[in-house]
Amino acid sequence: MRDVLAKALADRALTGCPGDAVAHPLASGHGWRVKDVVCTSGPEDSPVEEKNDYVSIAVVVAGSFKYRSERGSVVLSPGSLLLGSADESFECSHEHGSGDRCVSFNYEPAFFENLAADSVGKGASLKFPVHRLPELPSLIPLTAEAQLGLHLPRSVNFEELALELAGRVLTTLDGAPVSMKGMTARDERRIATAVRFIELHFRQPLRLEELSVLVGLSSYHFLRTFRQVIGVTPHQFLLRRRLREAALQLRTTTRSVLDIALDAGFGDLSHFNHTFRSAFGTNPTKYRASSRNLSAT
């Protein structure tokens, strides 16, 4: 996953071309489609205004960037969901680092309206109240499945995933609007630095104090600012990054559960099993077995 983005950024550096986003189709059906979107833009590239003709829910799997519309701006980081409403103008920028990769689920407005009616009832607003959802516990299995789709697309039922993801987002947002209060550019720059550091070193033990020193904030202010910018605490972000890595290895390798747990950054098997079960509703061994059974069918 990261190699694809790294190669795209390296190719861009060799050619000297401006950064851009390239979308590769993964799956499609009546009213929906899924794309692998790799963007090589960086701080030197000026954002370009775009407009969706569809509803979009994008799972960020690598890199970070800022999304802006007339309703506000948010910073997107790995594991979070970017929510884009139809007919809404927006722009993305990479002020704090180059490149990102997303699995983008796109829905035709009429199709999404039917999904919304089935999920939260008729009359539901088709405009998302926020642009970002953090990687909430209920979303971890879905974001892990989307990430797997980049490695083993034939093992993922994208139609089911597209419908389930939309329904989960709609029910999460229903009656629980999330504040879009913005942070300062300096806050966002500091937290983006921390996010990229965690992404590179998530297998290592990372302390709050270490991360706060890295970005020049007190531990308390770093914790509060990180939660405001990203939507979860640094520990939650780190833990969910490790869970996604472990889930991917369970699906794509034959390594032992213990080896996977230790490689993903968990200190012991008991802690890993407990954390994995809490997030996925089953233990790692059963998760691996059920995934193989689905692939075989």
pTM of the model as a whole = 0.79
273-284 core/surface letters (b: 16 or more CB in 10 A; e: else): bebbeebbeeeb
Contacts of 153 (CB under 8 A, 6+ apart): 26, 27
Tell me the domains of the chain and their CATH numbers. Answer: 2-173 (2.60.120.10), 185-296 (1.10.10.60)
In order along its 297 residues, the chain shows pLDDT tens digits of 558 999 999 999 999 899 999 999 999 998 999 999 999 999 999 988 899 899 999 999 999 999 999 888 999 999 999 999 999 999 999 988 899 999 999 999 999 998 888 888 776 677 899 999 998 988 999 999 999 999 888 878 899 899 889 989 998 998 654 444 557 888 899 999 999 999 999 999 998 889 999 999 888 888 889 988 998 889 899 999 999 999 999 999 999 999 999 999 998 899 899 999 999 999 999 999 876 655 554
Rounded Cα distance, 192 and 230, in Å: 9
Rounded Cα distance, 50 and 21, in Å: 12
Beta bridge partners of 74: 67
Rounded Cα distance, 251 and 35, in Å: 21
